Amino acid sequence: MVSASFYNLYLPFGRGGFDWVVANTASGAILLADGELKRLLEVSDPKRFETLKEQAPDVHRYLVSRGMLVEDGLDELGRIRIWFQRTKFGYQHMNLTVLPTVGCNLGCIYCYETPSPGVMSPEVADRLTSFVEAHVPPLESLRVVWYGGEPLIGAKALERVSRKLIDLCDEHGIDYHAAIVTNGTLLSEKIVDLLLRCRVGHAQITLDGPAEVHDSRRPFRRTGGGTFERILKGLERLKGRIPASIRINVDRSNVDRYRELVDLLAGRGLLGVESGNTVALGLVKDWTDEVGVAREQLLSLVEFEHHLAELQQALAGEGLQEGGLAEADFRPSPPCAAVNVLNYVVLPDGSLRKCWIHATLPDTEVGDLETGLDLSRPAAVEWTAFDPTRDPECAACRLLPVCAGGCPYERLTGREEKEIHCEYR
């Protein structure tokens, strides 16, 4: 016998003859339903489902295949826990965020890092290669994100590490992908050529609005001069070679100006399906005490999502970006990759962290390139043991499969009582 899944959601619709949207957060399935089907699922009487199986076997079979009906007595929470744990403790896929330097040439007002000089040495680069090699086999894929600071300040280290990792992956048939998060001010033709040699397939670059807005938020550190035009030139050098995701970090002071930037980028051929570039909003948050934005300037998550949806719809309507609102956003998702056993942030000195937000904060080290994950360190245990299915509030929530407990950093630090965003459900 079967019963209705605990993870069914019923959302009013009232169009095209359908009164309801039924979404299952554990399977990601979505269907349109009339009132009768909605009531059948909501009441969840196994005997009525047996009658449905006899009278409408195709409907019954479909609901089972979409996860909206499950075996009576199935521990659905336990199944989600197993899925989360399989993802966390998988040894086939490694994700590395590598900081060749923590130094930066910009002085962004909302930066959450403490910049410091110094670049990853050749010795650390060699240890990083050995660290990856120690996981072969069973490693099947390696994803590298170059981060900083400004990673291109350490371009030589980036090239050295890339060459070694690419050779290692090619030798063992490991799928290799790389991306970079850069402020875009150092993207000369020579650097773009270097990135291509290093198989960097994607770049994320931040522009916070038109020139006067952006330059007031992301100036050069030493001179205070503007960076907007320099970044546009960098984007032009990337065009047709490395696609870029253009991120607009927003708070109350600039959220009404991002549309001007979108129009400017489109006018210069730097945005649109043919350009290969995309644009999205980022939420400025007080991640650490280093952030120089007053709390009253910060947008709530609900306010941010409103602006994000508005931008997505506008871009799709104008043909500048494929898709509108993210489709099927009830798809299940495991917790943040930061908790996965083969997910690390590698600092220039070879020490390991779990999240790039706290890369420069004290007491966050989880190991180093020689020892790997060191479970004698409190941070290593906290991150590896993260399991939202053990939280009573999460365990009783139908959104757990898509929320996955929220941001581990916020939950583990308890920063400003932002452990979870349950007030938004």
Q: How far apart are the C-alpha atoms of 403 and 422, rounded to whole Å?
A: 10
| Strand, coil or helix: 16 | coil
10-residue averages of pLDDT along the chain (425 residues): 95 87 94 92 90 94 96 96 94 97 93 83 95 94 97 96 97 98 98 98 98 96 96 97 96 94 95 89 78 76 88 84 57 89 96 90 92 94 94 93 89 61 62
CA separation, residue 413 to residues 263, 334, 341, 353 (Å) = 39, 20, 19, 14
Q: How far apart are the C-alpha atoms of 372 and 131, rounded to whole Å?
A: 8
Phi, psi of 150 (to 5 degrees): -110, 110
Residues 251-301 pLDDT 10s: 999 999 999 999 999 999 999 888 899 999 999 987 766 666 667 888 988
H or E stretch at 85: helix 76-88
DSSP string, 258-305: HHHHHHHHHHTT-SBGGGTBEEEEEE----STT--S-GGGPPPHHHHH
pLDDT attached to residue 234: 98
Q: pTM of the full predicted structure?
A: 0.90
The two structure tokens encoding residue 90: 């998988």
pLDDT attached to residue 292: 60
pLDDT attached to residue 118: 87
pLDDT attached to residue 416: 45
Provide the angle, in degrees to the nearest 10, between the axes of the packed helices 155-172 and 122-133.
20
CA separation, residue 333 to residues 25, 121, 405 (Å) = 9, 37, 10
